[in-house]
Structure 1
């Protein structure tokens, strides 16, 4: 239904910038959009924050993803982010890139420190009035059991105001696999997401990973456990970048129940882009 968070496009470095989000919004008015990850120190120390945080109002609903591991600096960054009117602030606890995990201990490496994540999320909650969420993996390196995942969810949710976790349904290896390999080689375990929904009935979970088509999204959203529960939403990543028309072009009608989609065909999208960019 329109207004609900049923589908989102994942934050992707060097992809989900303001220009890509403009294209995504031409295709879907209701799909949630995420910024690229923005490092807290970048926001705090750069005098021109518009470079990283500005967006046109038509890109709502939109979330800002932050990277960092220090509650104090994340709080300061989130206070600046709040001035831009984002609909959600998300903490990156899932990126396996060397540029992330190896610099200041953030990204997927943070899953090994659930107490630190809880402190970071509590700080973000203090700095903003909108929802704060965590994007993470099933596990990291050898800390990859379901019990360890539950421990992470329990500590973070009890130690902060986080009620919504967006989970890439794979573990990641910080050493030995490239970011691309970490998106394809570790096996998908959708069953773990549904187990979390069962074991944490007061929390909400979104599923990310391996979703290729709008039909996949609809199927995942329609699934219900014997208790009648399912995922809060589906997050898509590279599929939205590799083939935005097929992934988002019919999302408003198929996923959100809108009467029509913004673009009738690819030609209309191209014409709109031409009108904006003049190329």
Structure 2
């Protein structure tokens, strides 16, 4: 009798939960949440400009992706000659460049010749001073603080690029799209429909930037801006792909190890399942018959 009552109570409880779930789902289908003003404007902007992210087609894409060391070195060259004037990569150490194919002497030379030196107080006077970089140092900050950064960049603070491909939706594709194909003439129809997004003086229209108006001028202005040491033709598109690949590596230098560990885990689980199935067949073979 007690078991029957408990079963009825349990069944009633499950029924009430199912009824509530059905009511919630049904109400969400019949009355979907209203679209916010920001979502409406962004949707209209994307429909008007066609600003869906482009695919950079990097070798690191996919579950088994691997970095192209030559491309990473080209990307570092683009960062060094173009991006490093404003953007830091403070989470990366000079010695980390060995992971993308640079030798120890090359890493030492890059650190020693880097245009910004490490802050180091004078040991005798305690006054502010600097010293040459060494391989164990992280890349120094471009600006000492946000005030200095704003003063040099039209009141905008250039973001650190160490984790940029992790911080932005689309990752490397976002960087590639924004740098190579984002700077276009602002559509007049778009301005007529949304007057508030007209590009003000001192900013630049970029169809892949969040609010369409960005403080950074086009960093890659023309083909040949960077002369690659390996002879690759330095088109704007190629340079954008290469720097996007490099920033993918700065954000996730252990990507290849993670992919290898994941593949090994999948293979192990497949073998384990096969062995478990074989053991099951062997143990229960006589009982089945």
Instruction: Identify whether the pair has TM-score above 0.5, normalized to the shorter chain.
Output: no
1 or 2 for the larger relative contact order (CA 8 Å, sep ≥6)?
A: 2
Q: Which has the higher helix share?
A: 2
| TM superposition score normalised by structure 2 | 0.26
Instruction: Point out the structure with max Rg over C-alpha.
Output: 2
